[in-house]
A and B are shown apart, each in its own frame.
Chain A
Amino acid sequence: MVATPAAAPAESRTISERRLHPAYLLISFGRNLRSLIPLIAVGIWQAPGWSIGALAGVVVLLSVANWWVKKYSVRDGSLRVRSGLFRRTQDIIGINRITALDAERGVVQRICGVWGLKIQTPGNNHRASVHLACLSASALEELRVALAQPGPMSSADGPIPSGLPLPSAEADAGTESLPAGTTLRKSANAPVPETLAVLGTRTLLIAAFTGTSIPLMLAGAAATIGRARDLLPEQLFRRITREVFTGGPTTALLLLAAVAVAVFAGIGLTSLRLARFTLVREGERLRISRGLIAQRSGTIPVDRVQAVRVVEGWWRRLLGYCALEVEVAGLSSSNDTERMLFPLIRVDQAAELVGRALPELGWRPAPIHRVPVRARRRYFTLPVLLALPPTLGLAFLPGWGAYLAYLPIPLALLVGWGQAADAGWLLEPDTVTLRWRRVLARHTVIARRERVQLTEITRTPLQRRAGLGGVRLLLSSRRKARVRHLEFDDAVLVQHRVGRRSTGFIPSSTMRDLDLADRARDVASGTYREA
């Protein structure tokens, strides 16, 4: 079953039609059952016992039928998946359109020794285009080999990704990973996977403390209390609050305990998600595996990485840490763990790690150009405008509430000040760097110059008078990079250098020193005046 690395590339790139692992039966049965829970809950009171039995029989039959008709194959450079009992569907995905492979397994899948595989392509922004729920370890391995991109390097030295180790090979030497692991050691041609970074316990704890889990838990707890107030009868709720919060130290202790529970739950959740986070570079691909109980492992072709994003949250920045994300088309924009390159790393080591993981990006950290002083005060405008409605709303609050109205504007000024201080840009031969701050977190996007999908300059009349403009880059991950106010000439320079496929290149620093930017401006505004 296992494709040997010695096999010819053509052979290893075909997989005849086959079904998923029978464990799919169990999982799909469970899923069907779960979707029927409301029905069962209602029916159990009234329906006779035999009808429930019949229902269970139908569910089993459906699962078997679904498993029977779902088949996948790899042929002629594309993955074909046939499925559907009544409505036959066939998905065909060209191998060279695949942007990422995500293998994952939950508890049940882990017990059965199978993996689920999600295949990502650009264009479907929130869901995987194809999800193969159950693959045995060897089948997964085979599929990975078959779906490997025939990249430039692999054509030079044979089937490059053959004999990849299983995702679990580095993390835990699970029994199921042995065959693939051994093939790896045998094959001399295959590139040795290089483990670039592993998330340590200390960093994991910091990540958990500074991450979003704890605030989310607290918000969730608050929401639960709110719901309880709505649902429980008024008197009961009052009695509970009166008996529990007797005032004095007990209340304080109780509150503290609640916060502690939320904090621990948050840390636990983050640890489950991020524990044993491992970043591995294998030839032309990056392999990321993580998770304590539910394991996930994703593969991203290096060639598909459009940009790297450095996110420095407010807390993390104080501690000198940042998170690294990759921008890849098709990876969901809502789930930030899917596009994570590394969850937490010291800022001074980030560039080095990116350099080792993605040398193709050609990122050389250099001091970025700050926005001009006269642009800085403009960063205050938007936050202050946004802060006005809450201020007005709070000012009409009765009693002490009115004093809260003094809060939004100073906060907005602080945010604006931070945004102005952080904004900046830089052009390098291969990359463009934009840095800006959202509310608290500072984002730095280092994008491959040639891979940016759209570049936009925006200008309001006020900006026009001050000779300023804003730049926005859109990447194929459907995410944006923007600097809201900068010198208009610089904006034009960025647009021309990023959006256009020019041959010669002058780094932005030289360009500015020589004042060649003027010339770029002339070109741009020449057309502009014509209109």
Chain B
Amino acid sequence: MTYWRVRALLAGAFTVGLLTWGAIGLRWPDPTIRWILVGLAAFWYLVVGAVIRPPIRYRLFWYSLSDREIDLQHGWLVQTRTLVPMNRVQHLKSEQGLLARRFRLSDLHIHTAAGSVLVQALDEDEAADVRARIGLLAHLADDT
């Protein structure tokens, strides 16, 4: 949750800063439109991104593994529940950015032939464990 907040704040500070700079420096769109844009960006990143979104996202997210499938739910405005049969898993990838490393978090991509599912911001050790378990289970049921 804190990770999401910090991330939104950082991205927001960058975007809002850029827009403010543009609003001061540029001549073209009407000043009101310029400042409305700045306000919208600030609202999106600093209020929605940092305050409203993380708790909802945190509350909605869950996942479960069984030997047959991966079942998970994520999202905040649009809530999505995904079911991946275990023998459809093609490969797994985990990713960790700089900020995520600071928080000891890691993203896990589960790839199937049709597309991938992203499990965001798992605990580092948990991600490694999940990855190992899915790898093992998916390998057992090996057919395409």
Residues of chain A touching chain B, judged by Cβ–Cβ distance below 8 Å, are 97, 122-123, 329, 452-461, 464, 474-478, 495-496, 498-501, 527-528, 530-531
Contact = CB atoms under 8 A, between A and B. Distances in A.
A122 B79 contact: no
Contacts, number: 80
A495 B83 CA distance: 7
Nearest to A329: B113
Given A527-B64, A531-B59, A531-B73, A454 B79 contact: no
A489 to B, nearest CB: 13
A193 to B, nearest CB: 27
A495 B62 CA distance: 17
Nearest to A97: B144
Contact of A455 (B73, B83, B113, B144): B83
Nearest to B66: A500
B107 interface: no
A453 B79 contact: no
B31 interface: no
Given A457-B82, A464-B79, 8 more contacts: A122-B144, A457-B81, A458-B78, A474-B114, A476-B112, A477-B114, A499-B85, A531-B61
Contacts of A453: 84-85, 88, 112-115
Contacts of A122: 113, 144
A456 B114 contact: no
Given A454-B84, A461-B77, A495-B81, A531 B113 contact: no
Contacts of B77: 460-461
Contacts of A478: 113-115
Contacts of A500: 68-69, 83, 85
B121 interface: no
B60 interface: yes
B92 interface: no
Listed residue (B61, B80, B81, B82) with the most chain A CB atoms within 10 angstroms of its CB: B81
B117 interface: yes
A123 B113 CA distance: 7
9 A-B pairs with least C-beta separation: A499-B83, A453-B114, A476-B113, A474-B114, A531-B62, A457-B81, A453-B112, A459-B79, A455-B83
Interface residues of B, number: 26
Interface string B103-116: 00000000011110
Kindly name the residue among A123, A329, A500 whose own CB sees the greatest number of chain B CB atoms within 10 A.
Answer: A500
9 contacts: A453-B88, A453-B113, A454-B117, A459-B80, A460-B78, A500-B68, A500-B69, A501-B69, A531-B61
A217 B85 CA distance: 44
Contacts of A530: 62
A476 B73 CA distance: 21
A311 to B, nearest CB: 19
B79 A458 contact: yes
Contacts of B84: 453-454, 499
A501 B61 contact: no
A97 B68 CA distance: 23
B70 to A, nearest CB: 10
Given A329-B113, A474-B114, A531-B62, A457 B69 contact: no
A456 B113 contact: no
Contacts of A97: 144
Contacts of B78: 458-460
Contacts of A123: 90, 113
Contacts of A452: 85
Nearest to B64: A527
A457 B80 contact: yes
A427 to B, nearest CB: 15
B103 to A, nearest CB: 21
A496 B88 CA distance: 16
Contacts of A496: 83
A306 B51 CA distance: 44
Given A454-B84, A456-B81, A458-B78, A499 B69 contact: yes
Contacts of B64: 527
A501 B112 contact: no
Given A454-B117, A499-B69, A501-B68, A474 B79 contact: no
Given A478-B115, A527-B62, A531-B62, A454 B88 contact: yes
Contacts of B69: 499-501
A475 B114 contact: yes
Nearest to A327: B114
Nearest to A330: B113
A97 B60 CA distance: 38
Contacts of B80: 456-459
